[in-house]
Structures are given as structure tokens and as C-alpha cells.
Amino acid sequence: RWPSPTLQELEVTVTDARMCNNSRFWHGGIGPTMICFQGQHRGSAPAEGPLPGVIPAQGDSGSPLVCGKRPAVAGVMSFTSRNATDPFKPPVAISTVKNKKWIQETLR
């Protein structure tokens, strides 16, 4: 059943922004407040959906990107390629760290 009623988890690696912006990837479309990443499904929940256990898919926008030994939200999933199997279009999140001031002002 999609979407899954079970919280899913990916272990991800951040991709260098310069590499993500080169002509083989997002062609300069990644701004300084964006985070490119790649990952694999992990955990006990079964991978479900259009691409089982590979990468975030459409519908994952708004999901948190959490990191650190003391988990903290580092970003929010923004977009991925329409062709989620394209290795040259890694998923992109918006940095909550680089937008912290705007987030705090907006929440007031």
C-alpha cells in the first residue's frame, strides 16, 4: 500500500554541491541553501512504493533530513528527478541551518 503507514528511513550521504551543480547533474540549479544527497533504505520497515528502497520519491517532499549523534533536522526534502532512477539527479533538500533566521522570524 502506498503511501506506507510505516515511517521509512534512509541512510544518506551528502553530495558535494559543486559536483551536484555540474553539467551532468543539476546544471547549476542548486543554490547555496540546498543539499544534494544519495541514500539507501534501512530499518525494519519493508520498502514500498514506486522505487522500493532506493531513493526518496515524489511524495516525499516535506520530509525531514535528520543528522548527527544527537538527531537534529538539517533540512527538508524538496525535490527529486521525475525519473528517480536517474543517477545524475540526486534528491535535493533545503537546509534548515542556512535558513534558521527566516524560519525563526516566520514562526513568530
CATH code for position 91? 2.40.10.10
Q: Is residue 31, in this structure, part of any structural domain at all?
A: yes
Whether 99 is covered by a domain: the verdict is: yes
Q: Give domain status of residue 88, yes or no.
A: yes
The count of structural domains within the chain is 1
Span 24-60, pLDDT tens digits = 889 999 999 999 988 765 544 334 444 444 456 666 7
39 lies in some domain: yes
What's the CA gap between 96 and 33, in Å, rounded? 8
Sign of CA dihedral 84, 49, 8, 65: positive
The CA distance from 15 to 34, in Å, is: 11
Residue 61 covered by a domain = yes
pTM of the model: 0.73
- pLDDT of 46: 39
- Containing domain of residue 51, as a range? 12-107
In a domain, 52, yes or no: yes
Of 34, 40, 33, 36, the C-alpha closest to 11 is: 40
Residue 4 lies in a domain: no
Averaged pLDDT score across all residues of the chain: 79
